[in-house]
Amino acid sequence: MIQLSIRQLAKRYKTGEGVSDINLDVKKGELVTLLGPSGCGKTTVLRSIGGFLEPDSGDILIEGKSVLKLPPEKRPTAMVFQGYNLWPHMNVYNNLAFGLKIRKKSKQEIDEAIHRVLELVRLPGSEKKFPGELSGGQQQRIAVARAFLLEPAVLLLDEPFSALDAKLRHEMREELRDIQAKTGLTMVFVTHDQEEALSISDNIVVMNAGNVEQMASPQVIYDNPRTLFTAQFIGKMNFIKGNAGGSHVNVKQLQFHNVNQLEGEVTVAVRPEDIMFVKLDEGLPAKIHQIMILGHYAEVSLETECGLLKAFLPRDAVKNRQVGQLVHVTFSKVLTYMGQPKK
């Protein structure tokens, strides 16, 4: 069942920035992430859903009904912002109870709901604490709890973990995924952090300059980026000049299937984990420039006729290798695109 439907949404600012012709369906219980660089339009889409921005054209439907004419407080949405937006003069209980009191809930209903939601965000017994007595991660949990209490049809999250340090951010992602699995809430999440998007999303919407480049599962986005922009934006990638014609793509002496039937000069994209060593005199000659052991794998920089390539290899594969050594490499998988990657 489609919980949120965005149809031909457009919103342009005087600066020329904004979004055009955004079409998006989010199923009930799904976590969809809007991902892209600053200024790509992801927050514009999110704020339009929440009612904080009025689109120039298009429609937004939640549970099959248009919400365009409703103010934010009348929409079946709740928003968690970057800043925690908690009232510093109110304790946790009153911060959480505020929205429920406006909805005329009884004291018993409010008590039960707050007890339940604090268990959910793993902060039971914190009702009497003030925001200033909580860590950043705890404050963000309370902000998420407050949004849950409103029982929104769609929960909107605008870079909610960006102010937290890396370890906390990682923990909060796991927590959010956990909470989402328990509650079955539909969520739209905005981030510019690709690792965050890949780790928590059911589907990712990659945005660029106000348009949708690709919408797919994290696996598909990573394995088969549809455009050169997506290939550049998601994960580490090597870009090499190649030539396509007939059934083959050629990179120096290496040959690959021309899956996309391209013709002429192409950009060949290779993930670092898809580079492997082969026997001498096979594949592409390369000189080892640098070896960095990163836990269970090694990052190896290789000087080749195609430029400097980065390879991720199992640690055992480099134990007898040294900087300056001549090796030969090939690629287990390549992607091909017309055009050149942006510097």
Picking from 230, 261, 280, the residue at the C-terminal end of a domain is 230
Return the top range by mean pLDDT from 80-94, 162-176, 305-319. Answer: 305-319
Q: Do 142 and 8 share a domain, yes or no? A: yes
**What is the rounded CA–CA span in Å between residue 304 and residue 134?**
53
Of all residues in the chain, what percent carry a pLDDT higher than 90? 55
Q: Provide the number of structural domains found in the chain.
A: 2
Element (H, E) at 43: helix 42-50
The mean pLDDT of the chain is 90
CATH of the domain at 287: 2.40.50.140
Residue 342 belongs to a domain? no
The range of the structural domain enclosing residue 123 comes to 2-230
- pTM summary value: 0.88
Picking from 230, 246, 280, the residue at the C-terminal end of a domain is 230
Confidence of residue 84 (pLDDT cuts 50, 70, 90): low
- Write down the pLDDT at residue 227: 94
Q: Do 109 and 125 share a domain, yes or no? A: yes
Give me the half-sphere count of Cα atoms (radius 13 Å) on the Cβ side of residue 294.
10
- Identify the residue with better confidence: 309 or 15: 309
State yes or no: pLDDT of 138 exceeds 80.
yes
**What is the rounded CA–CA span in Å between residue 137 and residue 121?**
11
Picking from 230, 256, 288, the residue at the C-terminal end of a domain is 230
Q: Do 208 and 243 share a domain, yes or no? A: no
State yes or no: pLDDT of 25 exceeds 80.
yes
Residue 213 belongs to a domain? yes
- Write down the pLDDT at residue 211: 93
Q: Do 203 and 292 share a domain, yes or no? A: no
Confidence of residue 212 (pLDDT cuts 50, 70, 90): very high
Residue 205 belongs to a domain? yes
- Write down the pLDDT at residue 43: 92
53-57, 82-86, 260-264: least confident range: 82-86
- Identify the residue with better confidence: 192 or 162: 192
Q: Do 207 and 277 share a domain, yes or no? A: no
Residue 256 belongs to a domain? yes
Q: Do 300 and 315 share a domain, yes or no? A: yes
Q: Do 9 and 133 share a domain, yes or no? A: yes
- Residue 251 CB contacts under 8 Å (≥ 6 apart), including other chains: 240, 241, 242, 268, 284, 306, 331, 334
Q: Do 177 and 294 share a domain, yes or no? A: no
Q: Do 154 and 36 share a domain, yes or no? A: yes
CATH of the domain at 166: 3.40.50.300
Kindly report the CA angle at 291 between 290 and 296, in degrees rounded to 5? 160
Q: Do 112 and 160 share a domain, yes or no? A: yes
Q: Do 38 and 176 share a domain, yes or no? A: yes
Maximum Cα–Cα distance across the chain = 79
Q: Do 45 and 133 share a domain, yes or no? A: yes
Return the top range by mean pLDDT from 145-159, 180-194, 201-215. Answer: 201-215
Residue 343 belongs to a domain? no
Rounded-to-10 torsion of CA 32, 36, 41, 45: 10
